[in-house]
Amino acid sequence: MKIYHTSPEKITKINKFQGPFAGSLFFSDEIYQMSNVSDHLYSIDVSDDQIIDASDLYCEEAVGQIIDKAQNDLDLILDQDEAEALLDASDQIWGFDCEGDKGEFDWWLQGLQGQVAKDKGFIGCESTDEQGVVYILNLIDKEGLLKYEGLVQS
């Protein structure tokens, strides 16, 4: 399966400090543009066994990070089950009554899903967001997997 990512600039190096996704990029099975400036098109060929479904994600350390970040950033106390549900996307932060920027937290959480998938030996994970099905790939030190397809044709 070929999946696509668009970017406002050419990608040369990916690191965990670029944006809220901590090195994760978002891909779709269709070419898309998130904004008028997402001009550069990239693709990656992946097979089903290289992608883990978000519902199958589990990592004790990541669950702890979710609990800590929710408390620090949102003044929200999560229990273990709630944090696990956020990690595996069976629940979303939008359903919790809390302070702080839920959007930023959700972006961070998606980046964490990509990192957990990578740590488990997958290229990425399949999840859903406001655009529908999304593939989240943490590509720190894996930039060579990206194939530059040129500029997006409007």
pLDDT at 33: 66
In contact, 89 and 82? CB cutoff 8 Å: no
Which distant-in-sequence residues (6+ apart) come within 8 Å of 47 by Cβ?
1
Task: Determine the structural domain holding residue 24 and report its residue range.
Answer: 2-151
Closest listed residue to residue 117, CA positions, set 30, 72, 29, 54: 54
Long-range CB contacts (within 8 A, 24+) of 58-65: 58/84, 58/87, 58/88, 59/87, 59/116, 59/119, 59/120, 62/87, 62/112, 62/115, 62/116, 63/87, 65/112
Q: What global pTM score does this model have? A: 0.87
Specify the number of domains making up the chain.
1
Name the band, by pLDDT with cuts 50, 70 and 90, for residue 129: confident
Kind of pairing between the strands at 40-45 and 147-151: antiparallel
Is the predicted pLDDT of residue 38 greater than 70, yes or no?
Answer: no
Structure tokens at 22: 């901590």
Q: Collapsing DSSP states into helix, strand and coil, what is residue 62?
A: helix
Kind of pairing between the strands at 124-129 and 51-53: parallel
How much of the chain exceeds pLDDT 90, in percent? 66
Is the predicted pLDDT of residue 37 greater than 80, yes or no?
Answer: no
| pLDDT tens per residue, range 137-150 | 998 888 899 999 99
Is the predicted pLDDT of residue 22 greater than 80, yes or no?
Answer: no
With tokens 């997997």, the residue in question is: 145
pLDDT at 132: 83
- The mean per-residue pLDDT over the stretch 31-58 comes to 87
